[in-house]
Structures are given as structure tokens and as C-alpha cells.
Structure 1
């Protein structure tokens, strides 16, 4: 019975993905209609500069926002895990984790109001675009990264750091040779999660983006109003292929390590 449920669960998750991949090789102009085996939509995708530009912008924003989110989440996690009770700790933790429970519509509207107010008071941002999307994604990713990093820091044995300092290591040396290596799995997981959240986001980017800040999810969502083309299916197959290669490389690296 357990195996049957497992198979049903896998089919439920992967059957739509496999069907989408099959339609990417269809010659029909309709995205979900089979018209014979063809690679025409992969060729069309390679020549679609708007899609490629939006995809490259999404990757750059995701990488930058994930890095910033990991740094901010590391600070949040360290304060909550290592500094013990302090006045306002409960409020600080609630505010840091608020993006986890707030609807993205509320978060996006709040960030839009913040950017409009900052533009009025300080003149920045001059216009909404890639920079405002990056800040919005980093603020969302920092909440998730903070939870992951806090749990990782709480699981560390502080006696290892104390032993290193007892042997004459400076605080910087302890951080570099003891703390960071032990935190590496948590930092990597936090960065990856923040990267995926940014790459997949539509709601926040819709509120805070502008000219020059159209990410790939926003571009694809706007195409729904005009009619989706099979190029979207081809793009999904390319994305799955890249993700599969990254996972295979990660598995190979872990096996070698």
C-alpha cells in the first residue's frame, strides 16, 4: 500500500511536468496540441531576445538577492541563536519572520509604498526597476534564510569554538576555520532557497518592477493575456535540463567529497 501511494504521489507531481515537456517538441502552434515531432520551438526560443533578456535578468537578480538575503539572514540567525534573551527579542523575531506569514500581495504593496516614500524624500529610487526588484526579493529571502541559518547555528557545539580560542586562535581565525565550515551547509541551503524564491516570484516583482525590471516570470505571466506560445514549453524543458545538470553535479561532488 505504501508503494502504491508513493507511485501515485510521484505521478501526481511529475505527470504535468512530463506532459509539458512532451508538448515542447510538438510542431503545432497551440501550446497544448500535438502536431508532430519538431524542434522548431527550441529554435524560436534561441532567437527570442526578449525572453532571453528577461531570463538573464532573472538569474542576475536571483543571484544578487540570494547573496544579500544570506548575509542578512545570517545576521538575523546569529542574533536570535547566540545572543540569548534581550529586551525586544520577541518583537525582533516576529518582525524578522513576518514575510513568512504575510501574503505576498500585502508585502508587495508595503514595499511599493516604501519605495514611493523614499523616492519622495530622498530621490531614490529614481524609478522602479531591477534594483527595486532585487531589494524586494532580498527582503523576502532574508526571512527564510534567517530561519535556516538560526536552526543551523543552534545545532552547533559552541565548545568547539571555545576550544579553538583556548588554543590561541583569534576570533577571526575561529570564524574562518571553525564556524563558517560548520555553517556551510546551512548557508548553502539558505542561498539556494532564496535564489529559487527570487527566480520564481511574480507577485512582488509585479508591484515593484518597472522599465528595465521585467523578470522572466512577470514576462511569461503577461504573455497569458496575449496567448501563450509553445516557446514557454521549450523554456520549461531548458530550465528542467539546467536544474537536472546542477543536481547531478551536486550529487557527484558530494560523492567525491
Structure 2
């Protein structure tokens, strides 16, 4: 039975609504003209102008420092949190609390973190943003790793303990290799979230160390500079690449679990 073609109209309309602005933005990043809204020919000059912009390059370096640092922390803590929730607890309340940072609005988390840093008299800077992004991303890493844990073969862990291996040795030699695809996928997701995150960084960073999203915000307050289109296109490419890589690794892990079964 053939489906009515009218059913595809809202489907494709949704895709056009979501991705047409992105396509326009990427196309305008290759604009040869000085206007950010009128296409006057193909050129790569705005990508070259980004490299020469000291403010943009400083923001990029700060963003990479924050993204790498927060990803390492979020991956380690999120993995341990997922293992603890899946193997050593059966509390729905703890599950909800662990995933709450992924559900709460960014503004609520940002204000709470700012109040916390002020209360403990901690100066703001890149270190405070790294800790804040790690807290935010940790919930996503835990969710991804725990999904991987659901399909892991627990009989191997039981056999390891029966043969005399301790909890740490079992985790490092049995559990961790099984979780590797999920851990890498979670790390890529955490890196992408930190790379693009604005609200939490805006509230928890010092004035001397702006990240790239904050630099972009300061540049567009008085109009859209054509360099913004090129910068946004690069960020989109990095984000899409990380998300697709994470999905591929998750699928590879799922196929490996099915093959073992």
C-alpha cells in the first residue's frame, strides 16, 4: 500500500525549516562582498581574515583549553558515575539526580554555579568554566556510557572475580575495554557541548579570558560581521563531525555486543 504523498510535506518542511538557515549561513561565508547579507561572488577571504583577527584567535585558544579540560573531567567522572549507578546502586532518585544537569535549563545551572563560586570566594577564569562545563557535560557522558553498560556482558566480570581478580583489575581489564566505544562517544559529545556552550561560560568566566561564543556575541551586538559567517561555518563543521563520529562509535559498540551474544 502506497503512502499518500501529502504525508511527506510536513516531514520535508520541517527539515527545510531546520537546515535552510544553516545552508544560507555556510553559503554566505564564501561571500566576496563586504555585506553579510548580499552574496556578491565566491571567495575565501573571510576565512583568512579570521586568522588575522587577534580577538577571534584568543577566543579560539580559550575555547579549546576549556573544551579539552572539561571533556577530560566529564569523561572520567561521567564514566565512573555510570558504572556506579549501573553496578552498585539501584536508586531511581540517584539516577534522576545524576541526569538532572542535562535536564535543567542552562540559565539555572549558570546562576547556581556563579553563586557557588562567589560563596566559596573563588575567582572566575578559565578554570571556573572548565569545572562548570564538566559538571554540565558529565550527565551526558554518564547517559551514553550507561547505555553501553546495558549491553555489556556481565558474565565476563563475574568470571574475572571468580578467578581472583579484584574490583579494580576487573574494571580495568574487562569492563573498561567493553565501554571504550561509549566512553569515546560520550567524550566527543562533551567536547561538542563545551565548544558551543555560551550561557554557562558567560556567567562563570572572567573578563580577561573570553571563550569563542562570548567573542561572537560581542561581535554581533552592533551588526553581523561577515567573518561571523565563516567562523560559524567552521564551528558547524567541527560539531557535525564530532556528533557523527560519536554516533558511528556507538553503532560499532552495539554491533560488537551483538556479535559477542
Q: 1:249 to 1:71 in 2, by over 3 A?
A: closer
Q: Give the number of aligned pairs.
A: 245
Q: How does 1:1-257 map to 2 (within 5 A)?
A: 1=5, 7-85=12-90, 89-119=91-121, 125=122, 127-167=123-163, 169=165, 171-242=167-238
* TM-fit CA distance, 1:155: 2.6
Q: What runs of 5+ residues in structure 1 fail to find an aligned partner?
A: 120-124
* TM-fit CA distance, 1:207: 0.6
**Is the contact made by 1:72 and 1:142 (CA closer than 8 Å) also made in structure 2?**
yes
Query: What TM-score does the superposition give when structure 1 sets the normalisation length?
Result: 0.83
The whole-number CA distance in structure 2 between the counterparts of 1:114 and 1:217 is 23
Q: Give the corresponding residue for 1:122.
A: none
* TM-fit CA distance, 1:77: 1.1
The whole-number CA distance in structure 1 between the counterparts of 2:222 and 2:103 is 33
**Is the contact made by 1:24 and 1:237 (CA closer than 8 Å) also made in structure 2?**
yes
Q: Could you tell which deviates more after superposition, 96-105 or 65-74?
A: 96-105
**Is the contact made by 2:59 and 2:215 (CA closer than 8 Å) also made in structure 1?**
yes
The whole-number CA distance in structure 2 between the counterparts of 1:229 and 1:97 is 38
Task: Map Cα deviations across residues 142-188 of structure 1 (whole Å, 9 max, x no partner).
Answer: 11112222222233221111223445555444323321111012111
The whole-number CA distance in structure 1 between the counterparts of 2:244 and 2:125 is 34
Q: What runs of 5+ residues in structure 2 fail to find an aligned partner?
A: 257-261
Query: What TM-score does the superposition give when structure 2 sets the normalisation length?
Result: 0.82
* TM-fit CA distance, 1:209: 0.8
Q: Secondary structure at the match of 1:236?
A: helix
The whole-number CA distance in structure 2 between the counterparts of 1:154 and 1:247 is 21
RMSD (Å) for aligned C-alpha atoms: 2.7
Q: 1:207 to 1:245 in 2, by over 3 A?
A: closer
